[in-house]
């Protein structure tokens, strides 16, 4: 269990203007959960993570891990990073080039306060090396490992100390695409099995969606939304989140009317039905986010339903194997759509469009 | 035009077209530079080797081939002791300087010790206080007879025997090690800065303490660089002349450099023996430089440089930071404050006396007046200025062409040129002086005994420095900058003068200033090459010392240090870009 309250971190280089890299960060992570900090480059994810690690000294706030306060500006408490017992995997892996694989993994046990016998250390290290399938290269020089192996060694080194918290800073970003998918899967499996409370930093939204129990999207040093992957994807709190989390169609409009649970919005592509939301009244300017995969296409007219129906003209289409991407003009507004390969309509022809009210996310304009 | 690789050929044909008309000029200048460098680097060395196999010739007996010099230089117990002393002294100096320098580098780069901003300022101190003045000031501080420390302990604590004896191997190592520590500091700092910060941070996250991180990660990773720094310091130590001559010779503690000086200055002078000693010395320095360059080039396994620009966080070392700052302040006192103050004190006296209430009544500026009125004073200063500025200019221009050849062209064999220009790194000053002396005594072209031979010595000695400054900036000049000038129709000479030299300017200026400063304090080559009438500043200080004119020496020293300090300050403020650092 980790809780972060009102955390702010400022970088003050001598002679330079201070940089407020993380401001007023609040979140808490229940035991055993994987929590992701997601955001574009330079938004302060690493800063937040390093503040939790104790590698940066925050300017204010409280950080509690399992009910021990490791940082508190008011209480003037700052536990040194080497006393926090948090495992951390760095983006560069930081594998020590002057040690073997075994020595790298054994280091945390050799320097800890509680003295372990050589045999105990060996047993523990071999167990964790086996878990990341590196036990067969234990005597190898650590620099003679492949990228994926180095990444696993870094993980093993963080795990061997039985950390109270696992901190991961873009651990997959240095791997190629194939390996990244495989490691993502293994990382998830390991985290779930060990039940380790984990903070994960990434700028890759698909990684975040695939791994996390909960995601915090950051922008310019602030958290702009916290929620489950589904929440964030389906109900982005603002345009920044919707834009960042994936490609989407933004459609502006005015609320014309509706019932208790449905609203009718007048937009440039026509009338759209959307789920009602508290605080949005008739006459309000709104903005809707519709994912391309939620724009249903069909060659013939679909059966009538609660879906909003339109007809558009195909402007372009790209065949991607498992799906096709379409650009469609509807009343001179362009919509992006992702459809099943079975859709046959050619460029220039008319196509039928259906949009499920459930999938239209209403954003504050 | 020689073209070896497909890559090279494109460069050359394009350059060749642009420079077709001034083809001659280009090759004349390049050829001239090659000849000059080869002449400078090889002739004295070759002659020295030859001389070490020759017997001493007299009017009646011509020199013949002999191994006797080597027998004397290596075969006697005396000579074994000499080698042993030299190695002990160099090793001790290097180790002491390295321990101090590494400690300061770590404190400065990785801890929250106060006064850190002073560290870099301190690193130019060995530039400002010449070795001979530093040594003399330590004699005034810690000699058994006149040393202030010893007098204090005698007067305050009633010690009968002097506590400190600067005239000893320990004393020599102490003085030279203190003086060289800033070099170690700069070298190790560079290594620490090129390290990926996350390597240390991950150790910290693993639970290691600050000290464990320092010893198990930081120092281990910097080890190749630290070893290389040790070799550089070792070579400096074994080449060192001022300290062994002033502190060792009076008590018969000889090392190679002082033994060479002794052999030349004994009567009759024994050039053959001096040459054999010089060969032994060259052997040691060559080995040192060879291993150092091997270490620097094979550091790739440990290469820890990443693209990450941010420096590692500094560790809070708690109360220890006051201890660290204390050690640093003590170091500053030993290396700057006390030496300067003791010289200043001495310069205000009429006759040399240790500081006391009685002596305080005799303060006067008479010594300064004496020095200024000293016969030949202005000539000496003028000589030094001519040599320093002339030498620095020649070196920087010559090495700019050489660097251009070795970095920007694909001419086969250019590495030979690089090697020749770096060769003087292995010449200890006194060996260089000796070889030039012998050569131009035997082949009299009229420069022996003039300023020209000293200019030649300075140019040779500082060629490698010029190479380093110029190559660093030459590498940064993109070749398209030259090629576009060539396409505009400029000749090679014009391109070099209008494009290359201006772009090199930061490096050129920094190197030029550095060479000026080190030229002014050059002693070990000059000591064998000067003749009455063309002394330079460092020789004048040496003579003051030999004549026992401590007061004049101190006044002159204070003026020199102040002048060098002002020179550097003016230069620094004129352009912040010219960092003057001793590496
Ligand atoms: N040591 C530092 N000194 C000064 N500014 C810093 C320092 N470290 C980071 N910053 C600045 O703080 C801001 C946040 O940086 P941070 O490293 O937390 O970004 P990030 O979200 O991890 O980005 P990325 O995805 O590129 O790693 C950036 O503007 C960065 O330039
Ligand atoms: Mg980052």
Domain containing residue B123: CATH number: 1.10.3720.10
| Residue B209 to chain A, least CA–CA distance (Å) | 6
Give the model's pLDDT for residue A32: 92
pLDDT at A74 over 60: yes
Q: Could you give the C-alpha distances from B89 to A25, B86, B95, B341, B567, in angstroms and in order?
A: 59, 5, 10, 27, 33
Closest CA to A87 of B213, B206, B199, B212: B206
**B128 alpha carbon – ligand 2 mean position (Å):** 44
Give the model's pLDDT for residue B306: 43
Give the model's pLDDT for residue B580: 43
pLDDT at A301 over 70: yes
What is the rounded CA–CA span in Å between residue A222 and residue A124? 40
Buried b (16+ CB within 10 A) or exposed e, A19-42: ebbbbebebebeeebbbbbbbeee
CB contact under 8 A, A94 and B199: yes
> B314, B347, B363: which is the final residue of a domain?
B363
Please count the CA atoms within 13 angstroms of the CA of B109 that sit on its side-chain side: 25
Same domain, yes or no: B236 and B337: yes
Helix or strand holding residue A267 (H, E): strand A262-267
Chain A residues with CB within 8 Å of chain B CB: 53, 55-56, 80-88, 90-92, 94, 96-98, 107-108, 111-113, 143, 154, 157-158, 161, 167
Q: Which of A23, A36, A39, A43 to mutate to test the pocket of ligand 1 (most atoms within 8 A of CB)?
A: A43
CB contact under 8 A, A94 and B206: no
With beta carbons less than 8 A apart as the criterion, state whether B173 and B92 touch.
yes
Give the model's pLDDT for residue B60: 65
The domain of B458 spans 21-60+365-583
What is the rounded CA–CA span in Å between residue A299 and residue A290? 20
Q: How many helices (H) and strands (E) does chain B have?
A: 30, 0
Number of domains in chain A: 2
DSSP string for residues in B531-551: -TT---HHHHHHHHHHTT-HH
Total residues found in chain A within this entry: 365
With beta carbons less than 8 A apart as the criterion, state whether A51 and A63 touch.
yes
Give the model's pLDDT for residue B15: 42
| Residue A149 to chain B, least CA–CA distance (Å) | 17
A84 contacts in chain B (CB < 8 Å): 205
Same domain, yes or no: B442 and B502: yes
Across chain B, which has 583 residues, the per-10-residue mean pLDDT values are 37 41 68 87 84 71 76 80 93 96 92 83 82 93 86 79 88 95 90 86 90 91 90 93 93 92 84 85 88 72 47 78 91 91 89 73 83 88 94 94 87 83 88 89 83 93 92 83 76 83 87 91 91 89 90 92 88 63 39
Same domain, yes or no: A17 and A137: yes
Kindly give the number of the ligand 1 atom that is closest to the alpha carbon of A50. 18
Same domain, yes or no: A278 and A292: yes
Same domain, yes or no: A11 and A141: yes
**A47 alpha carbon – ligand 1 mean position (Å):** 6
What is the rounded CA–CA span in Å between residue B9 and residue B412? 12
Give the model's pLDDT for residue B575: 65
Q: Could you give the C-alpha distances from A163 to A130, B139, B581, in angstroms and in order?
A: 18, 59, 45
Give the model's pLDDT for residue B167: 93
3-state secondary structure of A130: helix
3-state secondary structure of A272: strand
With beta carbons less than 8 A apart as the criterion, state whether B182 and B122 touch.
yes
Same domain, yes or no: B293 and B169: yes
Q: Could you give the C-alpha distances from B255 to A120, B170, B240, B248, in angstroms and in order?
A: 55, 14, 9, 8
**B213 alpha carbon – ligand 1 mean position (Å):** 24
The domain of A350 spans 248-364
Give the model's pLDDT for residue A365: 42
| Residue B223 to chain A, least CA–CA distance (Å) | 10
> Is B9 within a domain?
no
Query: How much of chain A exceeds pLDDT 70, in percent?
Result: 99
**What six digits make up the tokens of A141?**
């020089």
- Residue tagged 């604590």 (tokens): B157
Same domain, yes or no: A205 and A268: no
B196 contacts in chain A (CB < 8 Å): 92, 94
Closest CA to B262 of B279, B278, B249, B253: B249
- Asked, as a colleague might, if the bond just before B268 is cis with ω within 30 of 0, I would say yes
Per-residue DSSP letter, A160 = T
Per-residue DSSP letter, B314 = P
Give the model's pLDDT for residue A128: 92
Same domain, yes or no: A162 and A305: no
Give the model's pLDDT for residue B577: 55
Q: Could you give the C-alpha distances from A233 to A238, A242, A276, A335, B53, in angstroms and in order?
A: 11, 7, 18, 18, 87
- Ligand minimally distant from the alpha carbon of residue A43: 1
Give the model's pLDDT for residue A39: 93
**A40 alpha carbon – ligand 2 mean position (Å):** 9
With beta carbons less than 8 A apart as the criterion, state whether A138 and A149 touch.
no
**What six digits make up the tokens of B110?**
């990785």
> A205, A221, A243: which is the final residue of a domain?
A243
Same domain, yes or no: B327 and B427: no
Closest CA to B236 of B247, B248, B246, B228: B228
**What six digits make up the tokens of B216?**
């198990």
The total of other beta-carbon atoms located within 10 Å of residue B240's CB is 28
Number of domains in chain B: 2
Same domain, yes or no: A212 and A281: no
- Which residues on neighbouring strands pair with residue A324, listed in sequence order? A319, A339
With beta carbons less than 8 A apart as the criterion, state whether A108 and B207 touch.
yes
**What six digits make up the tokens of A277?**
């939301």
The burial class, CB within 10 Å (0-12 / 13-18 / 19+), for B59 is exposed
> A181, A214, A243: which is the final residue of a domain?
A243
What's A134's domain CATH number? 3.40.50.300
What is the rounded CA–CA span in Å between residue B530 and residue B538? 11
The total of other beta-carbon atoms located within 10 Å of residue A64's CB is 16
> Is B181 within a domain?
yes
Same domain, yes or no: B41 and B130: no
- Cβ of A11 less than 6 Å from ligand 1: yes
Same domain, yes or no: B55 and B79: no
Mean confidence (pLDDT) of chain A: 88
**What six digits make up the tokens of B245?**
């001559």
- Residue tagged 């000067």 (tokens): B530
Give the model's pLDDT for residue B173: 97
What is the rounded CA–CA span in Å between residue A214 and residue A27? 10
> B339, B363, B387: which is the final residue of a domain?
B363
CB contact under 8 A, A94 and B198: yes
Do the bridges between strand A285-290 and strand A270-275 make them parallel or antiparallel, or are there none, so unpaired? Answer: unpaired
The burial class, CB within 10 Å (0-12 / 13-18 / 19+), for B388 is buried
3-state secondary structure of B189: helix
Give the model's pLDDT for residue B1: 35
Same domain, yes or no: A271 and A155: no
Report the residue from A90, A91, A108 with minimal CB separation from B207.
Answer: A108
Top pLDDT among B413 and A216 is at A216
Closest CA to B130 of B537, B426, B444: B537
Edge-first strand order for the sheet with A350-355 is: A295-298, A350-355, A308-319, A324-330, A333-339
With beta carbons less than 8 A apart as the criterion, state whether B579 and B510 touch.
yes
Same domain, yes or no: B148 and B73: yes
CB contact under 8 A, B316 and A90: no
What is the rounded CA–CA span in Å between residue A290 and residue A233? 11
Same domain, yes or no: B351 and B371: no
Same domain, yes or no: B477 and B579: yes
Give the model's pLDDT for residue B23: 57
- Which residues on neighbouring strands pair with residue B284, listed in sequence order? none
- Residue tagged 């700069």 (tokens): B186
pLDDT at A260 over 50: yes
What is the rounded CA–CA span in Å between residue B10 and residue A67? 68
Same domain, yes or no: A191 and A324: no
Q: How far is CA B485 from the centre of its chain?
A: 38
Chain B residues with CB within 8 Å of chain A CB: 196, 198-199, 201-210, 212-213, 216-217, 220-221, 223, 301-302, 304, 306, 308, 313, 316
The dihedral through the CA atoms of B499, B503, B507, B510 has a sign that is: positive
The total of other beta-carbon atoms located within 10 Å of residue B262's CB is 17
Instruction: Please name the residue whose Cα sits nearest to atom 4 of ligand 1.
Output: A11
What's A326's domain CATH number? 2.40.50.140
| Residue A48 to chain B, least CA–CA distance (Å) | 15
Instruction: Please name the residue whose Cα sits nearest to atom 31 of ligand 1.
Output: A42
Same domain, yes or no: B263 and B376: no
> Is B417 within a domain?
yes
> Is B221 within a domain?
yes
Query: Residue A232 — pLDDT band, cuts 50, 70, 90?
Result: confident
- Cβ of A40 less than 6 Å from ligand 1: no
- Cβ of A203 less than 6 Å from ligand 1: yes
> A227, A243, A259: which is the final residue of a domain?
A243
> Is B10 within a domain?
no
């Amino acid at each position: 269990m980790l809780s972060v309250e009102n955390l702010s971190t400022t970088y003050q280089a001598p002679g330079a203007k201070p940089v407020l890299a993380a401001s007023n960060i609040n979140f808490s992570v229940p035991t055993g959960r994987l929590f992701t900090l997601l955001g574009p480059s330079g938004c302060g994810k690493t800063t937040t993570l390093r503040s939790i690690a104790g590698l940066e000294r925050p300017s204010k706030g409280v950080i509690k891990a399992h009910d021990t306060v490791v940082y508190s500006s008011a209480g003037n408490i700052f536990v040194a990073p080497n006393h926090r017992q948090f495992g951390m995997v760095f983006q560069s892996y930081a594998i020590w080039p002057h040690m073997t694989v075994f020595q790298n993994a054994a280091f945390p046990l050799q320097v800890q306060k509680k003295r372990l016998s050589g045999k105990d250390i060996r047993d523990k290290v071999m167990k964790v090396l086996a878990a990341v399938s590196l036990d067969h290269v234990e005597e190898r020089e650590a620099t003679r490992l492949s990228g994926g192996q180095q990444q696993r060694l870094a993980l093993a080194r963080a795990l061997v100390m039985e950390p109270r918290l696992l901190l991961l800073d873009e651990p997959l970003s240095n791997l190629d695409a194939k390996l990244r998918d495989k490691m993502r899967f293994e990382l998830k499996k390991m985290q779930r099995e060990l039940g380790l409370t984990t903070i994960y930093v990434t700028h890759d939204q698909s990684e975040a969606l695939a791994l996390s129990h909960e995601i915090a999207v950051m922008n310019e040093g602030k958290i702009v939304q916290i929620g489950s992957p589904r929440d964030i994807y389906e109900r982005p709190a603002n345009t920044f989140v919707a834009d960042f989390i994936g490609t989407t169609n933004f459609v502006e409009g005015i609320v014309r009317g509706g019932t208790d649970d449905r609203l009718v919005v007048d937009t440039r592509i026509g009338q759209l039905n959307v789920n009602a939301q508290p605080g949005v009244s008739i006459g309000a300017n709104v903005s809707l986010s519709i994912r391309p995969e939620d724009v249903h296409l069909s060659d013939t007219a679909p059966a009538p339903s609660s879906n909003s129906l339109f007809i558009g003209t195909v402007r372009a289409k790209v065949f991607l194997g498992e799906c096709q991407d379409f650009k469609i003009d509807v009343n001179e507004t362009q919509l992006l759509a992702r459809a099943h390969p079975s859709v046959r309509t050619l460029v220039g022809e008319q196509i039928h469009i259906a949009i499920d009210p459930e999938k239209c996310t209403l954003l504050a304009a | 035009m020689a073209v070896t690789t497909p890559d090279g050929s494109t460069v050359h044909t394009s350059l060749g077209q642009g420079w077709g008309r001034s083809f001659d000029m280009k090759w004349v200048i390049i050829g001239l530079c090659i000849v000059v460098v080869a002449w400078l680097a090889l002739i004295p060395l070759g002659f020295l080797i030859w001389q070490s196999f020759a017997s001493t010739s007299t009017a009646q007996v011509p020199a013949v081939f002999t191994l006797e010099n080597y027998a004397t230089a290596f075969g006697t117990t005396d000579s074994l002791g000499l080698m042993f002393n030299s190695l002990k002294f160099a090793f001790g100096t290097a180790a002491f300087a390295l321990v101090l320098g590494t400690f300061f580098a770590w404190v400065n780069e990785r801890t929250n010790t106060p006064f850190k901003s002073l560290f870099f300022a301190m690193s130019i101190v060995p530039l400002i206080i010449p070795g001979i003045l530093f040594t003399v000031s330590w004699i005034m501080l810690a000699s058994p007879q006149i040393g202030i420390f010893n007098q204090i302990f005698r007067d305050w604590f009633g010690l009968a025997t002097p506590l400190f004896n600067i005239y000893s191997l320990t004393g020599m190592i102490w003085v030279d090690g203190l003086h060289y520590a800033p070099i170690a500091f700069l070298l190790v700092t560079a290594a620490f800065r090129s390290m990926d910060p996350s390597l240390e941070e991950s150790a910290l996250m693993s639970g290691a303490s600050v000290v464990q991180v320092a010893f198990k990660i930081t120092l281990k990773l910097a080890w190749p660089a630290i070893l290389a720094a040790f070799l550089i310091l070792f070579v400096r130590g074994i080449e060192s002349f001022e300290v062994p001559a002033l502190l060792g010779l009076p008590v018969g503690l000889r090392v190679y450099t002082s033994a060479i000086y002794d052999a030349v200055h004994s009567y009759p002078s024994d050039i053959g023996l001096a040459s054999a000693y010089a060969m032994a010395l060259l052997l040691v320095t060559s080995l040192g430089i060879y291993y150092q360059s091997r270490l620097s080039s094979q550091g790739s396994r440990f290469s820890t440089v990443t693209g990450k620009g941010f420096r590692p966080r500094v560790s809070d070392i708690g109360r220890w930071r006051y201890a660290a700052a204390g050690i640093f302040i003590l170091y500053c006192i030993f290396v700057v404050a006390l030496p300067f103050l003791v010289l200043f004190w001495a310069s205000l006296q009429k006759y040399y006396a240790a500081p006391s209430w009685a002596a305080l009544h005799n303060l006067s500026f008479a010594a300064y007046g004496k020095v200024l009125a000293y016969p030949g004073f202005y000539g000496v200063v003028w000589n030094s200025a001519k040599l320093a500025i002339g030498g620095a200019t020649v070196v920087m221009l010559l090495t700019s062409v050489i660097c251009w050849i070795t970095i920007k062209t694909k001419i086969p064999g250019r590495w030979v040129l690089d090697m020749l220009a770096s060769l003087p790194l292995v010449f200890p000053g006194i060996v260089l002086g000796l070889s030039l002396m012998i050569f131009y005594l035997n082949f009299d072209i009229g420069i022996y005994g003039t300023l020209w031979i000293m200019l030649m010595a300075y140019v040779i000695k500082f060629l490698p420095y010029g190479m380093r400054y110029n190559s660093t900036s030459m590498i940064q000049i993109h070749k398209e900058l030259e090629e576009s000038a060539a396409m505009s129709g400029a000749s090679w000479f014009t391109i070099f003068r209008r494009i290359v030299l201006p772009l090199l300017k930061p490096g050129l200026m920094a190197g030029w200033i550095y060479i000026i400063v080190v030229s002014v304090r050059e002693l070990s080559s000059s000591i064998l090459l000067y003749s009455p009438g063309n002394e330079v500043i460092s020789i004048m200080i040496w003579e003051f010392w030999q004549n026992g004119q401590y007061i004049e020496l101190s006044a002159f020293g204070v003026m020199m240090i102040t002048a060098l300090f002002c020179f550097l300050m003016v230069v620094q403020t004129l352009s912040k870009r010219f960092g003057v650092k001793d590496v």
